[in-house]
Amino acid sequence: MLRLASCYVTELINKLVVEMSNIGVRTSASFKPRSKYQDHAILYLTDLDCAQSRTVLSYALSKELFQFTYRWLILVTSPQLQQSKISLLENGPVLVDSDVVLAERIGNMPGPNGTMISTPRGYYNGSLVDVRPYRELYRRRRDMRGHPITMSNVIQDSNTTRVHLPREDRLELQYDSITKACWSAAKIGFEMINATPRYIFSYRYGYKVNGQWSGMIADLYANKADPPLAYVANVFYLPFSTRVWVTIAVCTAIATITLFLASKVEMVMTKSTTQQQLDGGICDALLLTMSAVTQQGCYLEPRRAPGRMMVFVLFTALMALYAAYSANIVVLLQAPSDSIRSLPQLANAKITLAANDVDYNHFVFNQSREPLYTSIRDRVFPVNGKAKLYSLADGVEKIRQGLFALHSVAEPVYRQIEATFLESEKCDIATVDYLVTFDSFTPVRKGSPYLELIRVVHKQIRESGIQSAIRRRYLVSKPHCTTKMSSFSSVGLLDMRPVLILMLYGVAVSVIIVIGEIIAHKLINRYYKQEI
């Protein structure tokens, strides 16, 4: 709380109260002490140039308001002119634990249109003697003497950033986190060159439309601101490697041949046959083998011991193979796909592509004319359909549901993932760089006199680790998969796509075979009739 005793005009006092309220400080005109529980949060402010300042100091001395934990800020134009009032403090109980600041006005701050400041370079005494403290221009000009420099900040997520950005209170970091981090770094740079940081806000970064710049670039151009700131594979093929599938095919062919030979011998040794017995042909042997492979069973069976032992071994081996195959299918349905690691793989994947509904995405996707980027753009911005643009919260929820890719700045997405994803779901996240981006830059107006100062300051901020500390303070890195827990996921039609395609092929082949048999039967009957 600020307790004020001054002779300022009402307009100036109201402005001070508003400024204090904007930073969360209450203001009062009463100097009477009340609750002792809030003494540490009270600051007394008075001006010795005011006539009632002597009365205020006398009252404070009588009430022992200069003792701990009260704090004082006393303004004075010149201590020599107000010596009689300062003597009250010197003779009063201002002890070692008192917190009293006497602010003296010694001059005016340099203005934007101030006079030129000159410093000696050297003198000539037979030879030039350089008296500059440093030879580097930056080290000699780094004291801006409080000159104001304005920074343009882009706000696209929430207007509450206008409140939280100047305070640097780290509230609502899910909105405009990169803007807040850039402002913190730039503010430190301004303080390093003793400049007064000022800020303005813009609604976009800036693009040239109809010959006119907009947003932040327009602020620079108009001199308003100086620097601103899974389903990708056939899961029914994946359980076994190619060599295993080839081995299964070879073993099936061998089993078919051995069953054919066994049934052939059985037909020779058996005089009477039944409809359930193998007829000694290759078709019956192949039918029995395929029935064992597909775990469907067959009404045909051999009658003698050698053939039955062979069928028993075949069904037993394929039963174990089927169990291993089914277990691997379940694991693959629950496991994330790691085959999307590059932009071409993402473009060929059968998943939904979308973008965050922010201004710059409308321009980013139209920059490149390469076929790869064009195909991705056409899926995000269909020619004859609605653009697939989502808010950050809705887009991250779509990612959590699966089969969805969102183009956005990574750090805000990571923060939303940390807040909404389960630990097991964080293991399924993959990141693909679309723009091949680098670290953020600070654009400065062309021809700006502060270019060299800002360049050196930003390098020092980066080299000293301050920039990394600010990034860790405001931004969130990619969530780590700490615990890989098994989770059950539902199976949709897309999972069964290979099986459904195989069934359609089977139906088509069956129809073709039936039609072929009908045609062959009619041709044979017609041939026999002609012979008769």
Sign of torsion, CA 10 11 14 15?
Answer: negative
In a domain, 361, yes or no: yes
164 and 147 together in one domain = yes
In a domain, 288, yes or no: yes
| pLDDT, mean of residues 194-198 | 86
In a domain, 80, yes or no: yes
In a domain, 84, yes or no: yes
Distance (Å, whole) CA 228 – CA 202: 10
In a domain, 237, yes or no: no
205 and 256 together in one domain = no
In a domain, 146, yes or no: yes
pLDDT tens by residue, 135-155: 887 788 888 878 888 888 888
85 and 145 together in one domain = no
267 and 176 together in one domain = no
Residue-range definition of the domain harbouring residue 460 = 137-229+450-472
Number of domains in the chain: 5
In a domain, 128, yes or no: no
Burial of 258 (0-12, 13-18, 19+ CB in 10 A): middle
In a domain, 409, yes or no: yes
CATH number at residue 458: 3.40.190.10
Order of strands, edge to edge, in the sheet holding 27-28? 27-28, 2-5, 43-47, 71-76, 99-104
Distance (Å, whole) CA 503 – CA 260: 27
CATH number at residue 263: 1.10.287
99 and 161 together in one domain = no
Q: Are strands 404-407 and 352-356 parallel, antiparallel or unpaired?
A: parallel
As a whole-number percent, the residues of the chain with pLDDT over 90 amount to 0
216 and 252 together in one domain = no
With bands split at pLDDT 50, 70 and 90, how would you rate the model's confidence at 275?
Answer: low
316 and 249 together in one domain = yes
State pTM to two decimals: 0.54
pLDDT tens by residue, 92-107: 777 788 888 888 877 6
